[in-house]
Amino acid sequence: MKRTEPDARGAIAFTESDPRIGELLQRTRRIMDLSLIASLASWDQQTAMPSGASEARMYQMASIRSVIHEQASAPRIGELLYELSSIVAQAPFTDADRGLVRQMQRAYHWETKLPAELVEEVESVRVASVDVWIRARRHSDFASFAPWLERTVVLQREIADRIGYSETRYDALLDAFEPEMTAKRVAELFTPIRDISITMLKRIQASGNTIDTSCLYGTFPLEQQKTLSERLLSTIGYDFQRGQVARSAHPMTCRFGSPVDVRLTLRYNERCLVQALMTALHEGGHALYEQGNAYNIMRTPVVGNMVSIPVIGGASLGAHESQSRLWENALGRSLPFWQGGKFAIIQQSFPEQFKNVDVIDFVRALNKVEPGLIRTEADEVTYNLHIILRFELEKALINGEISVEALPDLWNAKYREYLGIEPANDAEGVLQDIHWPFAYFGYFPTYTLGNLYGAQILHTLYKTFPDFDERLAAGDTNFVLQWLCEHMYAFGGIYRSQDLLKRMTGEAADPQYFVRYLTNKFESIYHLAAQ
Amino acid sequence: MKRTEPDARGAIAFTESDPRIGELLQRTRRIMDLSLIASLASWDQQTAMPSGASEARMYQMASIRSVIHEQASAPRIGELLYELSSIVAQAPFTDADRGLVRQMQRAYHWETKLPAELVEEVESVRVASVDVWIRARRHSDFASFAPWLERTVVLQREIADRIGYSETRYDALLDAFEPEMTAKRVAELFTPIRDISITMLKRIQASGNTIDTSCLYGTFPLEQQKTLSERLLSTIGYDFQRGQVARSAHPMTCRFGSPVDVRLTLRYNERCLVQALMTALHEGGHALYEQGNAYNIMRTPVVGNMVSIPVIGGASLGAHESQSRLWENALGRSLPFWQGGKFAIIQQSFPEQFKNVDVIDFVRALNKVEPGLIRTEADEVTYNLHIILRFELEKALINGEISVEALPDLWNAKYREYLGIEPANDAEGVLQDIHWPFAYFGYFPTYTLGNLYGAQILHTLYKTFPDFDERLAAGDTNFVLQWLCEHMYAFGGIYRSQDLLKRMTGEAADPQYFVRYLTNKFESIYHLAAQ
């Protein structure tokens, strides 16, 4: 992919000649460098580090984090931010300057508001808690994990109190992942999504129509899946000169300097091809966003947040997820995408398995709807229900409306209510995700926000390119990537996600786009009469 | 391998209760953590990083190095070292305390004596110089590289002047790799080695005896070579729980926290098995040394130097090389080693190739002597001649006795004199090694010092274990590893290499052990009449 820098002389350029912007940039670039090396050490930990090194690595991470903390909370940064905040709105300052000041203000706020002992306790509780959770899940033993979750909730409440919020404690935590979003606004956006998801699921089940997915199962040697995934990534524009693909138990995208070093990990299932394909497109979407960042904002927090606020980059976690889901679902589970030469790649990779499979049946198989207990395996119709119930539970937990002990029953009740099924045990229920042991409260809603933003952006793409499907079917995805680079990826975190969405689509976030997307797509796939 | 901590309550324990030792440890552990993460970033650069990330990584390395520099040159460290230096020789302080103070003094000296601009210039000249050298070597064009080498020599002289020395400038540079060694002492040690090498080579050539090495050539799929190398590493005691094997163009051992995270890279030649085998044993020897460090000294500079002095660890680079060469040559090119089940592993890995090969012929093939132009491919008889001529040239260069322009001719003349052959061009001559472009003056002699120390240690091993060969032939190498761990590896850099050698062998470094080793071994292999 050729990178696009739409207006490097305009919005994306920093006013380096201003001595305050100059000094702020100089300091933040150094902090960012350290932060990127720390990310590299985390990636190494998950992909290569020998098991015996865990304790030593823990010390190393603590040491580098403490240096980052010292530098990011330096009084001089506070002075520069104070001076700049009153003038940066006007000329000659640019959107990039404003993005820089805003991102550094958030980081400085988090770094200075939280005492070191609290940060250390959160970290050590996290390590222990993940450890206990792994064993608890293995034995489906929520009781052993409960005290650690209790402690995590107490610590997260303390963080919320110190960071500050206007409406509820949960808002402070949510803000770390989706800046300036509130629980109240999320609930408003989610209500129509919850309703359409439940309705669509019932309509599909009532129709009695089924989808045959047998073509996706067989024997797929891992080495060939790897080659196939990498070819697929190449065709959508992932640049291997600025990236690399590794394997890990949990797929992820990691950046050690966007846009020039953006790597991803995949996982493969020998018996089923879906996982590899969809993971490649999902992580590929994240990676395209990062590789699309303008070079000007490299080494600054404008490529995404750093230090104590664990955001992957871009405008927000929701904005990022909108791209992974756009490439995975809106494109990657659509007929024209596979018709455009991609299904042929699969047929070349596994000729025996696919020689007699029709692309239409293949894509239908990718879109089978079936309520399940496992979030990460959910289809597009049921996925958001998994998220919404988690959001409702964690919000109530942080805001003190429910207790940790009550969680398993509430979890099961919500699965019954939304999906009509119930976990047989806590391992496949409340103990399913790492987010809570990891103290990531406020993270879950960004998945569904991503779907919502993604559908709205997709609508704009269809308006902009009336021949969208035809171009996809002709094998072109580059026009999509170019448009997204110019209107979204290049800017990194210069704009807040809500502002960015407005710039891209002309409107504030509106769940009706997702409602319509889901309705149209699954009425067609399941041959349902339009209502 | 079960790790051994001989006297963790004695020499290897720090006096943490002393507030000065306590504070020094606290500060150095943090610096060491950062330094280890920086090493990880270098390793990543050579094994995984996408090419597009080079510039971004350069900034990252500069940023973390500048933090390390600030912390290692902090005035408070100077104060602590000043206080401790006058009292650390007495009780209650231990050898570990003395090692800590000595190592930190060296680091502090280097960090404070060299101005930041000089360090930066060395770094940027190094990057450019390596770049020019790669192209110069490709076109065998010494003239294009000469100005960069000139500049490097000037900078190295300036470093020497600032660091200080008693006899010659070269001593200051040598000291970075082999503490407290001087050019004069090296020349004394090397003279008998040069003489015996030339003599042995002539005797072998005069004998007219040849060795058939055809059994080493064939087709060896890389994946099987990898598995074989890893099995070999396992049998000699390399612990994969605390290590990992990767691939790179240049084999190396990297430690990101000895003894718990010691990784190595290997390279394979599809047509010849020797490279994989010998590289595995060579890097394996380095790795065993690091994995053998006592846990007490982890995260301290006592496991080896840090920051500006690029030493791999242990007592010195020579001490380290003694171990890679001991495992590669003294064991790995000996008959009893391969008889002890190791040749059977090779036969299992490549049954077609080796089913009719006798282990005696195999080991003879590993020991073929033939003067060549490439240092890294040299046999044990000629290897030190490659080193000694480089030492003589670089010493004269730094001390201002010869000019850069004269180097190619002097190089060729020395090859003719010592080895009886001459490079056809500078690519296979003076442009051969990365050490000079990399500004590593004083590094070369440590290879031959390693051979010298190694032979002396081997002599002690034979004295300690009169049934040494029998035990090897019975498949045991663990007794060697245990003894080396207890007498050498556990101590890391607590002792200076010369002191350590005396502790281990009862004597100062003596080249006669190597002279005898070489004579006996090659008289036997080439069926020469003893003189």
Q: What are phi and psi of A73, to 5 degrees?
A: -105, 15
Average pLDDT over residues A393-398: 98
Spell out the residues 6+ positions from residue B59 whose beta carbon is closer than 8 angstroms to its own: A29, A33, A299
Closest CA of chain B from A388, distance in Å: 38
Strand ranges inside A169-298, DSSP E? 243-247, 252-255, 262-266
Q: Could you give the count of Cα atoms lying within 13 Å of A188 in the half-sphere of its Cβ?
A: 7
Q: Between A150 and B116, where is the model more confident?
A: A150
Q: What is the per-residue pLDDT for A306?
A: 58
Which residues of chain A are within 8 Å of residue B246 when distances are taken between CB atoms? Answer: 48
> Which residue in B148, B174, B147, B179 sits closest to B159, CA to CA?
B174
Residue A432 has a CB neighbour count (10 Å cut-off) of 19
Rounded to the nearest integer, the mean pLDDT of chain A is: 93
- Among A35, A46, A57, most B C-beta atoms within 10 A, so best to mutate, is A57
Average pLDDT over residues B490-502: 95
For residue A238, is pLDDT > 80?
A: yes
Closest CA of chain A from B133, distance in Å: 24
Contact across the interface for A30 and B256, Cβ inside 8 Å: no
Contact across the interface for A256 and B53, Cβ inside 8 Å: yes
- Among A36, A39, A238, A244, most B C-beta atoms within 10 A, so best to mutate, is A36
Q: What are phi and psi of B247, to 5 degrees?
A: -115, 140
Helices vs. strands in chain B: H and E counts, helices first: 22, 3
pLDDT per position as a tens digit, A221-235: 999 999 999 999 999
Closest CA of chain A from B41, distance in Å: 7
Size of interface A-B (CB pairs under 8 A): 121
> Which residue in B518, B517, B384 sits closest to B459, CA to CA?
B517
For residue A271, is pLDDT > 90?
A: yes
Which residues of chain A are within 8 Å of residue B66 when distances are taken between CB atoms? Answer: 30
pLDDT per position as a tens digit, A377-392: 999 999 999 999 999 9
Nearest chain B alpha carbon to A36:
B60
pLDDT grade, residue A308 (50/70/90)?
low
For residue B297, is pLDDT > 80?
A: yes
pLDDT grade, residue B303 (50/70/90)?
confident
Q: Between A113 and A310, where is the model more confident?
A: A113
Q: What is the per-residue pLDDT for A123?
A: 86
Contact across the interface for A50 and B240, Cβ inside 8 Å: yes
pLDDT per position as a tens digit, A457-503: 999 999 999 999 999 999 999 999 999 999 999 999 999 999 999 99
Percent of chain A with pLDDT over 70: 96
For residue B350, is pLDDT > 80?
A: yes
Q: What is the per-residue pLDDT for A278?
A: 96
Q: Which residues of B77-105 are buried (b: 16+ CB within 10 A; e: fewer)?
A: bbebbeebeeebeeeebbbbbbbbbbbbb
For residue B172, is pLDDT > 80?
A: yes
pLDDT grade, residue B512 (50/70/90)?
very high
Percent of chain A with pLDDT over 90: 85
Average pLDDT over residues B57-70: 91
pLDDT grade, residue B5 (50/70/90)?
very low
Contact across the interface for B59 and A240, Cβ inside 8 Å: no
For residue B29, is pLDDT > 70?
A: yes
Q: Catalytic pick from A111, A178, A283, A328?
A: A283
For residue B354, is pLDDT > 90?
A: yes
For residue B20, is pLDDT > 60?
A: yes
Nearest CB partner across the interface for B260, out of A52, A240, A242:
A52
Nearest CB partner across the interface for B241, out of A33, A50, A256:
A50
Least confident of A45-49, B302-306, B431-435: B302-306
Which residues of chain A are within 8 Å of residue B57 when distances are taken between CB atoms? Answer: 256-257, 261
For residue B239, is pLDDT > 90?
A: yes
Q: Which residues of A277-313 are buried (b: 16+ CB within 10 A; e: fewer)?
A: bbbbbbbbbbbbbbbbbbbbbbbbbbbbbbbbbebbb
> What is the interface pTM, i.e. ipTM, of the complex?
0.89
For residue B9, is pLDDT > 50?
A: no
Q: What is the per-residue pLDDT for B11?
A: 67
Q: What is the DSSP-derived secondary structure letter of residue B433? A: -
The yes-or-no answer on residue A377 being catalytic is no
Closest CA of chain B from A526, distance in Å: 44
Contact between residue A68 and residue A34 where contact means Cβ atoms under 8 Å apart: yes
Work out the burial of residue B148: count CB atoms within 10 Å of its CB; fewer than 13 is exposed, 13-18 middle, 19 or more buried. Answer: buried
Least confident of A11-20, A73-82, B235-244, B248-257: B248-257
- For chain A, how far is it from start to end, CA to CA, in angstroms? 42
Contact across the interface for B56 and A299, Cβ inside 8 Å: yes
> Which residue in A275, A206, A213 sits closest to A420, CA to CA?
A206
pLDDT per position as a tens digit, A41-70: 988 888 889 989 988 999 999 899 899 999
Work out the burial of residue A44: count CB atoms within 10 Å of its CB; fewer than 13 is exposed, 13-18 middle, 19 or more buried. Answer: buried
Distance (Å) of CA A225 to CA A90, A275, B29, B353, B369: 53, 10, 44, 33, 47
Alpha-carbon distance of B489 to B322, in angstroms, equals 12
Provide residues of A within 8 Å CB-CB of chain B.
29-30, 33-34, 36-38, 40-41, 44, 48-53, 55-57, 59-60, 62-64, 66-67, 239-244, 246, 256-257, 260-261, 263, 298-299
Q: Between B531 and B128, where is the model more confident?
A: B128
Q: Catalytic pick from B111, B178, B283, B394?
A: B283
Distance (Å) of CA B421 to CA A31, B252, B338, B371, B413: 54, 29, 33, 7, 9
For residue A318, is pLDDT > 60?
A: yes
For residue A4, is pLDDT > 50?
A: no
Average pLDDT over residues B169-190: 95
Nearest chain B alpha carbon to A30:
B63
> Which residue in A282, A262, A275 sits closest to A226, CA to CA?
A275
Q: What is the per-residue pLDDT for A311?
A: 55
Which residue has tokens 């060729």?
B412
Q: What is the per-residue pLDDT for B413?
A: 98
Nearest chain B alpha carbon to A259:
B53
Closest CA of chain B from A22, distance in Å: 17
For residue B10, is pLDDT > 80?
A: no
Which residue has tokens 């062998």?
B505
